[in-house]
Chains A and B, each alone.
Chain A
Amino acid sequence: MCTKHDILLSFSVLILLFVSLPGVTLAGTLTVSNSCGAAPNCFSSISAAISAASNTTSPSIVIEPGTYTESVTLTVDNLPISGTETARTILQSASGPAITANNLGSVNISKLTIVSTSVGIQITGVSSATISNNIFFGSGQGTAILFQGTSSSGTVSNNTFLLNQTAISSPPTGINIQSNIFSRNSTALSAALTTNISYNDFDKNTNNGYQFLPSGETNLPNTVVSATNPIFVNPNSPPPSMDLHLQQGSPCIGTGFSGTDIGAYGGTGADTIPFIISGVTLTEPSSGSVSVSWSPNIAYNIGGYNVYYSLNRSGAPYDTKATLASSVTNTVITGLTTSTTPPSAPVLNNLGIGNGTLFVSWSAVPAATLYNLHYTDTSIVSSATITIPVVNTTSYTLGGLINGHNYLVTVSAVAQDTYFFSVTAFTTGGGTPGVSDESNYSTEQSISLGSSAESPPSNSQTDFPEALVPNPNLVNNDCFIATAAYGHYSASQVQALREFRDRYLLTNAPGRAFIRWYYRYGPVGAEFITAHPWLKPAVRMALMPAVGGALFMTRASAPVKAVTLVSAGLLILSLLARKKLLHAGGRR
């Protein structure tokens, strides 16, 4: 029989169970992406995904292409971290190790391009480390993989180490180093191990690169193959342009473990998506045809190219695909149809008013490739209509207009058929770009074909520009022209003029009238001087008497001013008297 106590006890146990449960458990795969949006289990940083992994059953982290700048600390045991495209999944650290793993049972890192001038991966006290199919790029500095303490087992396989100070520092004897390319590092391996090093390519490492050979007869160079240059597609640009796929003739092709390739793109877990195509250009050799050319992907395993295109629609999926052989780097697509149907007229909104400007905006018209903006100054008889082409926007600010003049404005839409093109490379036939054996789409290019068709003009709008009055309409403390000429508001000459204004002009009606006039037209002069810096010395010379007068009036004592003014008056009077005398026939 249930008593009140039993119910209370059961309720308490339930509450205890609820609060003692760990956080929300997520699904196994956590995605890292620079464009997650509202996608579930997607994180903008690797560190955030690692934090979430602690609440996930059998977690793994998959990183989408992008550049991630962070220092990652692995805090979850047995958490595989993998990029989706080696070359385009870039992890870089501003300072310190890009990845740190301390005292974990198992670490598995693959298919990343790790850029670091400090340490790429730092492993301390890890029982089993698996590091595969990564690229380590150090710009001639830093350590790609730094082992500290003891790591009992693991493999460092199918990685490419390029331009690091040290590729692998202090590798423990239990680590199997296999099928890696060590190219142009100062030191490939900091410890001269004699076992567990096989199928690696040691190329142009300047210091201690492969002194332990020939115990590894499978390594390059060996008694059969002396060539070590892996012949990368493009090792001379930094990521993301750097392409460390192998070219035809590379000694690393098929010479790795089990006949696989050596380096980041070899082995069973390698990224098989070809490097993205660049340099796509379009021309129109004749009516209805487009010549498409691109920079070739010279990786040895490229099987061909797909050229995708659509009419008047940007982005994937494209309407049409043309497949071409790997030897082809340009093609002419013919039979492209165009239509010349005029688009509908846009609707012109009321004009916005400004000082010497009119703001024009209108409704977007589907299929319009540009808009022609027409305006006429109707205050001037027989004024010509001016047309301005406006691309990629539905608003425009007409400038340089005369305040108070009426302007008649219309807009028309222009349509011209546009084809959008993108090119991919594939290895064995292709399928879906960015998946399996076909590269992602290249940067899209477009070309307009055929003749254009213009809509009827929109409704017209008429208005006139005028200077606006802000609230409050404050006085500018700047002496516009002097500030423009002397370069700074606080120049001593400008301060003298400002002080003169405050003491001698603002205190009387004519002075204030002058200031009002000056505030109206001064900014125009200042703008002109600022736009023509060569005028500044001349304006400074012209202002010199004014500055001198202002300095005298504001700095000199009253008696000095009185004596000077009286002297000046007497001088002027004597000069006038002398002139009168000369006119009357007197002697000099």
Chain B
Amino acid sequence: MKKSILILLISLFPVVVIAAGPDQERPHWSLEVKGGLFEPDIPNWKESYGKSTTSELAGAFAYKITRRVELGIEGGYAWASGQGLAPLHSQIAGSPVFAGHVDYKLYPLSAFILARGVFNEKQVVVPYIGGGWTRMYYEEKTDFQGTIKGHADGYHGRAGLQFLLDGIDESATNSFYEDYGVFHTYFFMEAEYSRVMAETVNDGNVNLGGTSWLAGLLFEF
């Protein structure tokens, strides 16, 4: 069965490549550079890290199977510094006592499929939606307690709006195309939700994902 699926996929690959049409006058690749806020789904996050959101940076690279559909990979980095819970002190105080220093880092790595609602190459506002598989690498360093590392798998979905910037400076746009082959440059804003369940020591599973609010630049070439 697996072999049959593999053979089917391999036989379909040339069709995909032909459909992509390298000679067609349209972009075939996209590159996203983005940053923004990440709001983790982890319970009591704000108590441990001081605020409900943290920073996130990410980049994505995708191949456009058609003008509207692309497959790609995305890598990101989110980080926060906070404190750990002191259980015995909390028990004595009757309320949570936080102490020490904890550095928490996430490195999400995703494979995605994305659909962009492009119906005209000069379309100023383009909606898009996508999603895919996510592997979340985590690193949690507590002072004097070493570093915990690991990873967990899950999925994500994202949607946003991209705004064509080409019209702002057409000569720059033309130079960008002639020098680097960039067809279009967009500014975009998106929301992303990820769900990646990871095991904790005592509290069952926890979702390492959450909601990201990101903005950035998209280059299509």
Contacts and interface: CB of A to CB of B under 8 A. Distances in A.
A506 B42 CA distance: 22
B49 to A, nearest CB: 8
Nearest to A397: B144
A527 B144 CA distance: 11
7 contacts: A353-B100, A464-B88, A470-B140, A471-B43, A471-B47, A472-B140, A473-B201
A77 interface: no
A476 interface: yes
B200 A355 contact: no
A463 to B, nearest CB: 8
Contact of B84 (A399, A469, A527): A469
Given A353-B100, A354-B99, A527-B146, A468 B85 contact: yes
B188 to A, nearest CB: 30
A491 interface: no
Interface in A349-395: 352-357
A476 B150 contact: yes
Given A471-B49, A474-B201, A527-B146, 4 more contacts: A356-B144, A466-B88, A469-B87, A471-B82
A478 B45 contact: no
B68 interface: no
Contact of A472 (B144, B149, B203): B203
A472 B151 CA distance: 13
A474 B148 contact: yes
Interface in B17-67: 42-45, 47-49
A475 B42 contact: no
B107 to A, nearest CB: 13
B150 A474 contact: yes
Interface in A310-357: 352-357
B7 interface: no
B144 A355 contact: yes
A476 B99 contact: no
Q: Chain A contact residues (Cβ within 8 angstroms of B): what range?
A: 20 to 34
Given A472-B206, A474-B148, A353 B86 contact: yes
B84 A477 contact: no
Nearest to A476: B148
Contact of A354 (B87, B88, B143, B201): B143
Nearest to B86: A353
A519 interface: yes
B167 to A, nearest CB: 28
A516 interface: yes
A475 B205 CA distance: 10
A456 interface: no
Contacts of A355: 100, 142-145
A483 to B, nearest CB: 10
Interface string A146-182: 0000000000000000000000000000000000000
A470 B82 CA distance: 9
- Is chain A's interface secondary structure helix, strand, loop, or mixed overall? loop
Given A352-B99, A466-B89, A470-B48, A475 B145 contact: no
B198 A472 contact: yes
A468 B150 contact: no
B138 interface: yes
A9 B118 CA distance: 51
Contacts of B84: 468-471
Nearest to A399: B144
Contacts of B114: none
A356 B99 CA distance: 13
A355 B104 CA distance: 17
Q: What are the nearest 8 A-B pairs in CB distance?
A: A468-B84, A477-B150, A353-B99, A471-B48, A476-B148, A469-B85, A470-B102, A475-B199
A523 interface: yes
A467 interface: yes
Contacts of B206: 472, 474
B48 A478 contact: no
A489 interface: yes
Interface string A250-284: 00000000000000000000000000000000000
A243 to B, nearest CB: 48
A404 interface: yes
B128 to A, nearest CB: 31
Contacts of A476: 148-150
Contacts of A399: 144
B202 interface: yes
Interface string A517-543: 001000100110000000000000000
A464 B203 CA distance: 25
Contacts of B144: 354-357, 399
B200 A475 contact: yes
Contact of B145 (A468, A478, A516, A526): A468
Interface in B70-106: 82-89, 97, 99-100, 102, 104
A473 B150 contact: no
A355 B203 CA distance: 21
Nearest to A516: B201
B215 interface: no
Given A354-B100, A523-B145, A523-B146, A474 B200 contact: yes
B214 interface: no
Contacts of B102: 468, 470-471
B113 interface: no
Contacts of B42: 471-472
A516 B202 contact: yes
A469 B42 CA distance: 14
B208 interface: yes
A206 B208 CA distance: 72
Contact of A477 (B45, B49, B149): B149
Contacts of A473: 200-203
Contacts of A474: 138, 140, 148, 150, 198-201, 206
Contacts of B104: 470
A356 B83 CA distance: 16
Contacts of A489: 149
A526 to B, nearest CB: 8
A375 B168 CA distance: 68
Contacts of B203: 472-473
- Indicate the member of A404, A474, A523 with the most B CB atoms within 10 Å: A474
Interface string A216-260: 000000000000000000000000000000000000000000000
